[in-house]
């Protein structure tokens, strides 16, 4: 075991055993939750719908809940935007937005400050509320 210098000792804990112990408790908690879900699953199984039938389209076709917001966005986009087909416009803008998020660290490369952090917090909260609203709208429509 390497020894930490006194300065490190004050504002840090060793990875083992202190941090590993904390993580272990988190893991135990998740495991307990998983077992509870499993026991509940014995009484309330996930279940199945009717077997797949390519010839019979159900009335309400919906993707998984985590794609529901995007799906809702695509559904209510006007058929023609700026002279382009609506769906193509929507899909393209979603892909561009995703690419922007992926390379975001290179776009926002200035040193951080409190003001920028607050702005990011506000943007995140508004975005999360919007996505949750879209998801709920998609779920009930």
Partner 1 sequence: MTKSARGKFFFGLGVALAAGALLLAVTAHVQAQASSPPEETDWSLVETSVASATVPPPNQDPCLHCHIFGENKNLWMPLARWTVFGTLGLVFVFGVYRSASVWRQRKPWKPLTARAVEWVDERYEVSAPLSKILSKPVPRFAMKWWYCLGGITAFLFVVQGLTGIMLAFYYKPTAADAYASIQFIENEVRFGAAIRAIHHWAANGMIVMCMAHMLRVFIMGAYKRPRELNWISGMLLLILTLVFGFTGYLLPWDQRAYWATTVGTDIAGSVPAVGNLVLVLLRVGWDVSEATLGRFYALHIIIVPLATLAFMLAHFMMIRKLGIHKPL
Q: Restricting to residues 18-47, which ones interact with partner 1 according to CB under 8 A? A: 18-20, 22-23, 26-27, 30-31, 34, 37-42, 44-47
- CB nearer partner 1, residue 52 or residue 82: 52
Core vs surface per residue 46-85: b (16+ CB within 10 A) or e: eeeeeeeeeeeeeeeeeeeeeebbbbbbeeebeeeeeeee
Q: Please, which residue, 117 or 130, has the CB nearer to partner 1? A: 117
47 φψ region: left (φ > 0), alpha (ψ -120 to 50), beta (else): left
Instruction: Specify the residue, 42 or 82, whose C-beta has the smaller distance to partner 1.
Output: 42
- The Cα 126–Cα 34 span in angstroms is 31
Question: Which parts of 45-84 interact with partner 1 (CB under 8 A)?
Answer: 45-54, 56-58, 61-67, 71, 74
CB of 114 to partner 1, least distance (A): 6
How near is the Cβ of 74 to partner 1 at its closest, in Å?
6
């Amino acid at each position: 075991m390497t020894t930490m210098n006194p300065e490190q000792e004050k504002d840090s804990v060793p990875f083992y055993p202190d941090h590993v112990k904390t993580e272990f408790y988190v893991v135990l908690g998740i495991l307990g939750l998983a077992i509870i879900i499993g026991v509940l699953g014995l009484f309330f199984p996930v279940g199945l719908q009717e077997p797949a039938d390519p010839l019979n389209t159900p009335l309400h076709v919906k993707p998984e809940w985590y794609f529901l917001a995007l799906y809702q966005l695509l559904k209510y986009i006007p058929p023609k935007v700026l002279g382009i087909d609506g769906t193509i416009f929507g899909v393209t803008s979603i892909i561009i937005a995703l690419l922007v998020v992926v390379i975001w660290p290179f776009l926002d490369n200035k040193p951080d400050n409190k003001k920028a952090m607050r702005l990011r917090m506000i943007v995140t909260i508004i975005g999360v509320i919007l996505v949750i609203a879209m998801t709920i709208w998609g779920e009930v429509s």
